[in-house]
């Protein structure tokens, strides 16, 4: 049976259509989800896309966190049952929801950064990265103004120790992120957030590479039971 992957649209979401497209190219059935519906429509996994939900008012992701659709999503994600990928604004929503530790703050340079970005996949042990190899380098798009990942030292040490740093910027984080962290996972490996945009790198015509497709094919493999999350977080 084809996996059904939901993509949430908040008011101000920007990359929901690209996320839907990436899900389709990966071979799954994309299911549009609406922020105001407290219903996940029985999907097998969810993508929280990039953009500027609720205009980024207050703080990025701070209001989206309380959207009706999050009511069902948060407990299912926290329990380890529901794979959730947060990209850019979606990562901010996951941190504001406390599904992931730390926070995303203003880029050190204060400039909005829009560039092709080289990343190193540090963990292939999550629901969203099982099709990669630890140490593999990929090129995807980074485009964000508040992408500087920060957390207290104890949290960063714990993320490193438990293999929950999922992707890291190579050549230094352009936004000043602590320890060059571009993406992290929760303790179950089912919830992953990252600042760069794998959904923009899924076909040669429009992306800098096809390197991002692996996030979407990985969750399909995970749902098919071939790559269990957390089975081997180190590699």
Partner 1 sequence: MARVIVDVMLKPEILDPQGQAIVGACGRLGFSGIEQVRQGKRFEVEIDGEADGARLEEVRRLAETLLANPVIEDFELRVAD
Site residues (vs partner 1, CB under 8 A): 58-59, 62-63, 66, 95-96, 101-103, 105-110, 148, 150-152, 176
220-225 long-range contacts (CB < 8 A, ≥24 apart) are 220/3, 220/26, 220/27, 220/28, 221/130, 221/131, 222/83, 222/127, 222/128, 222/130, 223/3, 223/44, 223/45, 223/83, 224/3
- Closest contact distance (angstroms) between CB of 197 and partner 1 is 23
Cβ proximity of 209 and 200 under 8 Å: no
For every residue of 145-160, DSSP letters joined together read SS-EEE--HHHHHHHH
- What's the closest the beta carbon of residue 159 comes to partner 1, in angstroms? 14
- Please report how close the Cβ of residue 46 comes to partner 1 at its closest, in angstroms: 22
Residue number with CB closer to partner 1 (111 or 115): 111
DSSP single-letter state for residue 197: B
Closest separation in Å from C-beta 131 to partner 1: 31
CA angle, 15 as apex, 192 and 201 as ends, to 5°? Answer: 70
Nearest to 164 by CA among 182, 145, 143: 182
Catalytically annotated residues: 88, 197, 199
Q: Is 149 left (phi over 0), alpha (psi -120 to 50) or beta?
A: beta
Cα–Cα distance measured from residue 44 to residue 187, given in angstroms and rounded to the nearest whole number: 19
Q: Rounded CA gap, 85 and 225, in Å? A: 18
| Pick 92 or 217: Cβ nearer partner 1 | 92
How near is the Cβ of 106 to partner 1 at its closest, in Å? Answer: 5
Backbone phi and psi for residue 32, each to the nearest 5 degrees, phi listed first: -65, 130
């Amino acid at each position: 049976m084809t996996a059904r992957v939901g993509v949430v649209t908040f008011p101000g979401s920007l990359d929901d259509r690209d996320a839907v497209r990436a899900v389709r190219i990966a071979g799954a059935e994309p299911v549009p989800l609406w922020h105001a519906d407290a219903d996940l429509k029985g999907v097998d996994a969810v993508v929280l896309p990039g953009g500027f939900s609720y205009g980024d008012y207050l703080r990025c992701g701070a209001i989206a966190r309380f959207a009706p659709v999050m009511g069902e999503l948060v407990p299912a994600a926290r329990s380890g049952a529901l794979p959730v990928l947060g990209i850019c604004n979606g990562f901010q929503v996951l941190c504001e929801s406390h599904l992931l530790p730390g926070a995303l703050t203003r880029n050190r340079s204060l400039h909005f950064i829009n560039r092709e970005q080289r990343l190193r996949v540090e963990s292939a042990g999550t629901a969203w990265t099982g099709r990669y190899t630890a140490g593999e380098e990929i090129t995807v798009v980074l485009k964000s103004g508040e992408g500087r990942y920060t957390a207290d030292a104890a949290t960063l040490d714990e993320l490193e120790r438990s293999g929950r740093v999922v992707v890291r910027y190579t050549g230094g984080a352009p936004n000043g992120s602590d320890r060059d962290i571009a993406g992290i996972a929760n303790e179950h490996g089912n919830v992953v957030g990252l600042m760069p945009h794998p959904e923009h790198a899924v076909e040669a015509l429009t992306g800098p590479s096809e390197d991002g497709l692996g996030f979407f094919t990985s969750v399909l493999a995970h749902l098919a039971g071939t790559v269990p999350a957390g089975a081997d977080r180190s590699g």
